[in-house]
Structure 1
């Protein structure tokens, strides 16, 4: 039942995004780690907005808060704010070329990262460093490939 409805493959993609977020990588590449949770959520928000909404985004944000050890709710708030324009304009974004989508994804992830930084700064006196914004660039670069992989995955497992 879960596989037929596409729920299990959808949950697996969320789990994989969370694992990639905390998976160890060489310290030289750590500042460049793409924002996997945001990328996967943005894809599903654009592809199947009738199944993935603010509830999913909120749960993924809270799980990210737990995994990252941040103040509870920071990532959840930032992801919900990031998701709003994607959900509001999903039909328009869906019809853009991959290059145009790449720019939109970069702006949305930049917005999310700025919100997370501001909340961390206010609550925990976080200090800004330029490498904090590197994931915006790496996420934008990865978006076309991730889009194509997840589209094939969605079609393969009939996620609708």
Structure 2
């Protein structure tokens, strides 16, 4: 039952993050949109494991690319590399205090922004470069909340 519940929760969170990425914002606020997909998926991977994070991230990123009309796979590559780092370093990252994991998350968000900027340049996409860099601040500020909200609840049906 917990696998089904976790899978449904993960799908719901990915859908919510995807909708937040596509939500229309006023022009002055567009550069400040957090990297919702990376934030949610990296916090999920850190707290709950990576069974569905990488394939789910790639599918969500493909949907984001299709909805935004950019080269397919652009967001997938920029999302999978930071998530692969979280998968590889999950145990040491979980051992860190929350404020130190937020500092480590800055590196993930910077890598994500750098990859998006690089891939935009390679593919010839014409997006505002600042739109990739400003979300680092807001995503980092939201990191502790995402990590705390995605902590697994103790199962009340488990003995002991």
TM interval, shorter chain, is 0.7 to 0.9
Go from structure 1 to structure 2 and tell me whether the alpha carbon gap of 1:8 and 1:129 turns closer, same or farther (over 3 Å shift).
Answer: closer
Q: Distance in 1 between matches of 2:155 and 2:64?
A: 26
How large is the RMSD of aligned CA atoms in angstroms? 2.4
Query: Measured at CA, do residues 54 and 131 of structure 1 come closer, stay the same or move farther in structure 2, by a change above 3 Å?
Result: closer
- The 1:39/1:157 distance shift into structure 2, 3 A limit, reads farther
Change (3 A) 1:93 1:62: same
Q: CA deviation at 1:125?
A: 5.4
TM-score, normalising length: structure 2: 0.85
CA positional deviation for 1:139: 0.3
| Counterparts of residues 10-21 of structure 1 (less than 5 Å) | 10-21=10-21
Structure 2 CA distance, aligned partners of 1:76 and 1:116?
10
Distance 1:157 1:51, change over 3 A: farther
TM (norm. structure 1) is 0.85
Q: Kindly tell me: are residues 125 and 62 of structure 1, through their superposed partners in 2, closer, same or farther at Cα, counting changes over 3 Å?
A: closer
CA distance in 2, matches of 1:25, 1:156: 37
Paired residue secondary structure (1:6): helix
Structure 1: give runs of 5+ residues left out of the alignment: none
> In 2, Cα distance between the equivalents of 1:114 and 1:50?
23
Q: Give aligned pairs, total.
A: 156
Q: CA deviation at 1:50?
A: 4.5
Provide the residue aligned with 2:88 in structure 1.
Answer: 88
Q: Name 2:32's counterpart in structure 1.
A: 32
Q: CA deviation at 1:130?
A: 3.5
Whole-angstrom distance in 2 between the partners of 1:127 and 1:25 = 16
Find the counterpart in structure 1 of residue 78 from structure 2: 78
Q: Tell me if structure 2 keeps the 8 A contact 1:44–1:52.
A: no
5+ long unaligned stretches in structure 2 = none
Equivalent in the alignment of 1:98? 98
Contact 2:109–2:136, Cα closer than 8 Å, also in 1: yes
What is the alpha-carbon distance in structure 1 between the residues aligned to residue 85 and residue 2 of structure 2?
29
Distance 1:50 1:21, change over 3 A: closer
1:121-152 Cα distance to aligned partner (Å, 9 max, x none):
1111546644530001110011111222222x
